[in-house]
Amino acid sequence: MRSATGQRGTGTVSFAGRIGRRVSTVSSALGVLAIVSAGVAPSAAAEDVQSKQWYLDAMHADEMWKVSTGKGIKIAVVDTGVNPTTSSLKGQVLVDEVPAAVAYGATKDYDSHGTTMAELIAGTGAGGGLQGLAPGSKIIPYRIRLAGIKAEEREKTAAPAEAIKAAADSDAQIISMSFTSDTIDPDMEQAINYAQSKGKLMVAGVGNDAQKLNEIGYPAAYSFIVGVAAADKSGKVAEYSEYGNYVDLGAPGLNLPHWCDATFRSYCDDGGGTSAATAITSASAALIWSAHPDWTANQVLRTLIDTAGRDWPKDKPSKYLGYGLIRPRMVLADSDINPGGAKTDPLSYENMTGVTGAEASPSASVSASSQPPKSTSGGAAAAAGSSSNSSEDNAQLWMVLGAAAAVVAIGGGAFAVMRARRGG
């Protein structure tokens, strides 16, 4: 499997026409997944990385931190491992909470990808490092077999299903997965279903191969996973960000600094991708959950959906951006926001569940093994609740989306893409 980072290019497409995702499996028979990162080769070391985290200003991070920093929330980062000794992550990584069965290499990042994701989520920014969007949250690291792992370490390192199940049994409320594969893994699907039963909010990048094959990517396409697309500061979706009806939200993911390699000597420019978008979405959820500790994963997700920036009807989500761009500030600023029912699944149409947990009836619950993950049939996904956007917010960056149509370049061929719906 590959990671979902996105260090590969900066071409963009209007958010209204969401493009998107598929990171193909690398030796899926061996359980190797791919990182969902796009970017350039390690070349330009960033001297001031925080000034290049453009989304912190765009999302009004300083205002949000007055309300919530993510304190009290633990996030499982299932990735290439996390280096807890970087200046930005000192004191942020809960190494002792990783079960022995999946602990091999958890703090030895073989790629630097997992460490970048952890810093984007919970980094303190100390020492000029990346500033996390939820600096009050904590990271529980899980190392899995992704592309780039040495052969001699592969069998010692946890398979994705093992790590997800361990995370489900941990105190982590959120499981962040910046990797993808185009192959269905029954063990991973079972682990995801288990994590859902434990009340976890699971987020995954949709992948960065839209310009090539745009095959369905997993885990983002499984039921109960929030699939995230990548966008730039102007509100445009990346050309490489994969698309389909499993894309649920869009988040910042282009032109971001990242660790160049596993030596952790410097940051590089022009990183990002759906990996970074996943991390930033996970951090956004942490901000909300910290401010509302009595909410469930369903309620946190519902408010992210209800307040997402979009210029299309909420009941007709786009194939490229789903319900729109994440705007956690809108949730934190509204003390009267309605999070909906604690056990009502905000992605019930895609998940084919209706409701979850004790509220679910036999007729409303559909076995994932007997149905395709996140239905690919036509129709619009229904999100409960309504959103209202003030004129002030609509005037802000990441508050207004583009035109109803956009010209998208894929594989060298340009064609007009109307704002696509999931059923389109």
CA atoms of 276 and 274, how far apart (whole Å): 5
List own/partner pairs for 157-160 with CB under 8 A and 24 or more apart. 157/104, 157/105, 158/101, 158/102, 158/104, 159/31, 159/187, 160/1, 160/31, 160/33, 160/78, 160/185, 160/188, 160/191, 160/219
Q: Which of 154, 124, 158, 122 is nearest to 140 (CA)?
A: 122
* Catalytic-labelled residue, pool 24, 37, 113, 209: 113
Q: How many CB atoms lie within 10 A of CB 390?
A: 11
DSSP 8-class letter at 144: B
Any idea which residue has 């960033």 for tokens? 46
CA atoms of 288 and 137, how far apart (whole Å): 11
CA atoms of 379 and 177, how far apart (whole Å): 27
Q: Give the H or E element holding residue 166.
A: helix 160-168
Contact 203, 355 (CB under 8 A): no
* Catalytic-labelled residue, pool 3, 14, 79, 318: 79
Is 363 an active-site residue? no
CA atoms of 387 and 364, how far apart (whole Å): 26
* Catalytic-labelled residue, pool 112, 137, 275, 375: 275
Pairing, β 236-238 against β 12-14: antiparallel
Is 292 an active-site residue? no
For residue 227, the number of C-alpha atoms closer than 13 Å in the C-beta half-sphere is 37
Measure Cα distances from 233 to 32, 103, 143 in Å. 32, 37, 31
Is 275 an active-site residue? yes
Bridge partner list, 187:
none
Strand order in the sheet with 179-180: 2-3, 179-180, 34-35
Q: Which residues are catalytic?
A: 79, 113, 275
